[in-house]
Amino acid sequence: MAEHPINNIMDTAMVNIKEMINVDTIIGNPVDTPDGSVIIPVSKVSFGLAAGGAEYGGDVDFSQQRSDDKVIAPVKYPFAGGSGAGVSISPTAFIVSNSQGVQLMQISECSAVENLVNMVPDVMNKVNELIIKKCDSDKG
């Protein structure tokens, strides 16, 4: 069976979207700074695709002529179709690696839960320091 023209429209649209969006779009290329830090951008990518079309011609569907339940030849009607796509790329964060460690610096405002989760490592380090100080003072 011959390929329908809408398949060509969809294939062309998908190929073009694949060319626009790749791994480097989401996790960007690292940027080296003069102080030795490395900054990696992180983005949110959203896209949508719509395609449609129609054959137009007579009111009766004669897409295939039949003779004794055997297909003789398909009748081709003119086809009209189109597609559209939308892409949104929004920066969401930067991964910063420097002599002080690795940090995720978010661009948008965080929720209270996200702030608490981000504070856990610092709180754990401070609790650990207090425990060590307490143990040292008990020994001395």
- Gap between the Cα atoms of 42 and 23, Å rounded: 10
Q: Please report the pLDDT score of residue 13 as a whole number.
A: 81
Q: In whole angstroms, how far apart are CA 41 and each of 19, 46, 119?
A: 20, 16, 22
Q: Please report the pLDDT score of residue 88 as a whole number.
A: 84
Q: Please report the pLDDT score of residue 16 as a whole number.
A: 79
Q: Please report the pLDDT score of residue 61 as a whole number.
A: 53
- Gap between the Cα atoms of 61 and 77, Å rounded: 10
- Gap between the Cα atoms of 42 and 30, Å rounded: 10
Q: Give Cα 19 to chain centroid, integer Å.
A: 13
User: What total number of domains does the chain contain?
Assistant: 2
| Statement: the pTM of the whole predicted model exceeds 0.75 | no
36 and 102 both lie in a single domain: yes
23 and 84 both lie in a single domain: yes
33 and 49 both lie in a single domain: yes
- Gap between the Cα atoms of 68 and 24, Å rounded: 58
Q: Please report the pLDDT score of residue 31 as a whole number.
A: 92
Q: Please report the pLDDT score of residue 38 as a whole number.
A: 93
Q: Please report the pLDDT score of residue 4 as a whole number.
A: 75
The DSSP annotation for 55-119 comes to E-S-SS--SEEEETTEEEEEPPPPEEEEEEEEEEEEEEEEEEEETTEEEEEESSPPPHHHHHHHH
Reading the chain (140 residues) residue by residue, the pLDDT tens digits are 567 778 888 888 888 777 777 766 778 889 999 999 999 998 888 888 888 888 776 555 555 555 555 555 555 678 888 888 888 888 888 999 988 889 888 887 666 667 777 777 888 888 888 888 888 887 76
23 and 63 both lie in a single domain: yes
17 and 75 both lie in a single domain: yes
Residue with the two structure tokens 């003072």: 137
CB burial of residue 116 (10 Å; 0-12, 13-18, 19+): exposed
75 and 97 both lie in a single domain: yes
Q: Please report the pLDDT score of residue 44 as a whole number.
A: 85
Boundaries of domain holding 69: 5-108
Rg of the Cα trace of the chain?
30
66 and 125 both lie in a single domain: no
